[in-house]
């Protein structure tokens, strides 16, 4: 067999353990990692109360290979989890990674994927302490992230009638990006804001920590499945209703340029990884003082009420369908 | 559309959130679960030193749907992780589950899969505190398990020349089962020991805890990828060599009946989830006193030596190839 170019080497050429032996030494861990990657288990020194979350990105479901570079995919796989930690006001600490790939996957792509995970973890103050690599027909990356819990816990259950509903950043960009990427309209258009956000999302960690530590929010969730759906979770678990004003929803200038006044993607599109929270009236002034320190805009989009379900301000008689991202219902 | 029989309902019929809303109330958590499933993160009260491991089972790689019932698959997905905790002498505590399924997957099968995970976790003293469900073309179950670390840590790095090599239980059954299942020879033959072990493996938690707590073992690993390969990991990480006697390897009576004196599957077959450990000479007497309390047999199969690599006693001049289960190299 002729020697292969190093850059075209696949995982099938070097095997799981061949790859792991190259990759493991590159993982930086911190002083709280007692035993790092490469053993049956990692051993970590954790706080008394640990946050625990898991999320997966699957080829053909969450992305097509052409939409994200391997490094972007790695980075995003971490950040979708960091967003869950942000929604609880926590601090990411340790993660383990479960990856499924085809044997024909290039080792340089796997290295880039891994580097993206490690870089995103480091940006958020976390270490990659273990993982598992398996064969799979479609690429998947499932990451479990541990974080330090804040002193005061905020869940989806604390919203009360009269609370104001706030959302960080801008909504609808990721859904707009997926629509454009599916249509093949924007190949290479990395400067277009929605595409950039789809490829390189942020987790609102600092905002989440600040809002929880200051005791400002009564309930919080990250917007991963769409505003209506995720607000619906808060309503269901808090036993309340909500009315939102579609025109108040913050959108990017690119979104506005392409969609005009249409807010449907901002209402139902998933994967924006913004924070959605409820703020009691008595805390609104303190939120205003804090808002320039959150690292992102925060906008009031509606109000919590008595009752059930999510209503749109322009059409108060109708309960908005819990339309949002559900892998199984929307195909 | 005609009403569907309840038992033939698929995940596409009820959606991710429909399934989760039915499943979540059935999850039992313990007093150390501060926030259970259904939030952005679980919150757990953990010990100071936490073990952390992840492993995935993928359809077409680790199993075919006909080989395992959904409940068996759930149970096994948990136990392959519990085995990693056992190899560190730890106690399983909390897990999160990442599942990928086709929309056509029956909800009763998904419930059975989930019930298998929950039952296996409960058997091992652990709680299922969170999860993620996504669409995927091939079924995968990736579980991350947290455990309490023992006071004294044992890794793959402590083996010294002169140490005896021990293995719990019986090796080769799972590989024999896969060979038979692939050949379609044993459909329905659930009473055949190797098939039963493939479908319903045990994690040697009590043995692992006892061996570590008593300070008997210098290094330990679970045999998930084959004896030679996993012993090779101990040798590489401890900087030692090993010689094993193939005829000393413990095999089940069904294995012996089918394979005669051939120990190749016991040497290289994966997925037996036994413990492989090294025991310094000075601890052998204490091990003999302890062995009736481990919950399984433990057998000496060789000796640690100076040098590199794994040798077979009958053929001492030759370093055994690190043949074992590698998803990417062995297809």
Query: In which band, very low, low, confident or very high, does the pLDDT at A4 lie, cut at 50, 70 and 90?
Result: very low
SS3 call for B298: strand
Which residue in A116, A120, A86, A152 sits closest to A296, CA to CA? A86
In which residue are the tokens 């598992």 written? A132
Answer positive or negative: Cα dihedral of B246, B328, A15, A26. negative
Confidence tier at B328 by pLDDT (50, 70, 90): low
Distance CA A43, CA A37 (A): 9
Quote the pLDDT of residue A330: 44
- Return the residue of B nearest to A131 by Cα: B54
In this prediction, residue A33 carries a pLDDT of 74
Chain length of chain B = 331
Percent of chain B with pLDDT over 70: 86
Question: Residue range A36-59: average pLDDT?
Answer: 83
How many Å apart are CA A220 and CA A210, to the nearest integer? 12
Predicted local confidence at residue A314, as pLDDT: 77
| pLDDT of B132 strictly over 80 | yes
In angstroms, the CA B64 to CA B81 distance is: 20
Tokens of A209: 């920590």
Nearest to A34 among B49, B222, B331 (CB): B49
Is the model more confident about A20 or about A314? A314
Asked whether the predicted pLDDT for residue A325 surpasses 60, the reply is: no
**Tens-place pLDDT, residues A297-311:** 999 999 999 999 999
Quick one: which of B121, B147, B291 has its CA closest to B207? B291
Banded pLDDT at B45 (limits 50, 70, 90) = confident
Query: Are the CB atoms for A46 and A88 separated by under 8 Å?
Result: no
Which of A65, A58, A67 shows the shortest CA–CA distance to A179? A67
Q: Choose the mutation target among B18, B54, B92 for the interface with A, i.e. most A CBs under 10 Å.
A: B54
The average pLDDT across B269-291 equals 96
Percent of chain A whose pLDDT exceeds 70? 86
Give the gap in angstroms from C-alpha A55 to the nearest C-alpha of chain B.
Answer: 6
Q: What is the pLDDT of residues A208-243, one digit of tens each?
A: 999 999 999 999 999 999 999 999 999 999 999 999
Q: Would you put residue B14 in left (φ > 0), alpha (ψ -120 to 50) or beta?
A: alpha
The C-alpha torsion from A210 through A32 and A120 to A279, rounded to 10°, is -20
pLDDT of B277 reads: 98
Q: With contact defined as beta carbons under 8 Å apart, do A234 and A301 qualify?
A: no
State whether A15 and B326 contact (CB < 8 Å): yes
Among B87, B136, B222, beta carbon nearest to A140: B136
The rounded percent of chain B whose pLDDT value lies above 90 is 65
C-alpha span between B234 and B310 (Å, rounded): 10
Q: A22 burial class (0-12, 13-18, 19+ CB within 10 angstroms)?
A: middle
pTM comes to: 0.89
Q: What is the arithmetic mean of pLDDT over B301-312?
A: 95
Give A59's strand partners.
A63
Which of B54, B136, B328 lies at the smallest CB-CB distance from A144? B54
Helices A70-87, A107-123: crossing angle, 10 deg rounding: 30
pLDDT level of residue A201 (50, 70, 90 thresholds) = very high
- What average pLDDT does the segment B48-63 reach? 91
Look at phi and psi of residue B239 and say left if phi exceeds 0, alpha if psi is from -120 to 50, else beta. left
* pLDDT of B325 strictly over 60: no
Determine the residue among A54, A56, A64, A330 to mutate to test chain B binding: the one whose Cβ has the most chain B Cβ atoms within 10 Å: A54
B320 confidence band (pLDDT: 50, 70, 90): low
Cα dist. A330→A317, B3, B133, B251 in Å? 26, 20, 14, 50
Q: Per-residue pLDDT tens for A107-148? A: 889 989 999 999 999 999 998 888 888 999 999 999 999 999
User: Which pLDDT score, from 0 to 100, does residue A327 have?
Assistant: 55
């Amino acid at each position: 067999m002729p020697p292969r170019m190093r850059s075209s080497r696949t995982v099938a050429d070097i095997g799981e353990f061949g790859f792991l032996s190259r990759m493991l030494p590159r993982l930086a861990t911190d002083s709280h990692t007692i035993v790092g990657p490469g053993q049956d288990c990692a051993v970590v020194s954790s706080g008394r109360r640990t946050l625990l979350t898991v999320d997966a990105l699957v080829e053909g479901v969450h992305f097509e290979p052409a939409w994200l570079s391997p490094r972007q995919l790695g980075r995003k796989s971490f950040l979708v989890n960091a967003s869950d930690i942000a929604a609880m006001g926590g601090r990411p600490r340790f993660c383990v990674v479960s990856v499924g790939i085809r044997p024909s996957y290039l080792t340089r792509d796997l290295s880039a994927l891994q580097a993206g995970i490690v870089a995103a973890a480091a940006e958020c103050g976390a270490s990659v302490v273990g993982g598992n690599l398996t064969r799979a027909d479609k690429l998947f990356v499932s990451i479990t992230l541990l974080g330090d819990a804040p002193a005061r816990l905020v869940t989806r259950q604390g919203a009360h009638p009269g609370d104001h509903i706030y959302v960080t950043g801008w909504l609808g960009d990721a859904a707009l990006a997926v629509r454009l990427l599916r249509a093949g309209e924007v190949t290479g258009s990395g400067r277009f804001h929605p595409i950039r956000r789809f490829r390189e999302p942020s987790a609102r960690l600092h905002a989440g920590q600040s809002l929880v530590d200051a005791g400002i929010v009564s309930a919080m969730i990250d917007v991963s499945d769409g505003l209506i759906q995720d607000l619906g979770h808060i309503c269901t678990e808090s036993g309340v209703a909500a009315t939102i004003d579609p025109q108040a929803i913050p959108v990017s200038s690119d979104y506005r340029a392409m969609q005009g006044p249409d807010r449907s993607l901002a209402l139902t599109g998933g994967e924006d990884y913004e924070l959605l929270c409820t703020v009691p009236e008595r805390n609104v002034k303190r939120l205003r003082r804090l808002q320039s320190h959150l690292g992102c805009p925060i906008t009031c989009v509606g109000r919590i009420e008595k009752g059930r379900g999510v209503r749109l301000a322009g059409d108060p008689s109708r309960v908005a369908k819990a339309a949002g991202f559900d892998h199984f219902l929307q195909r």
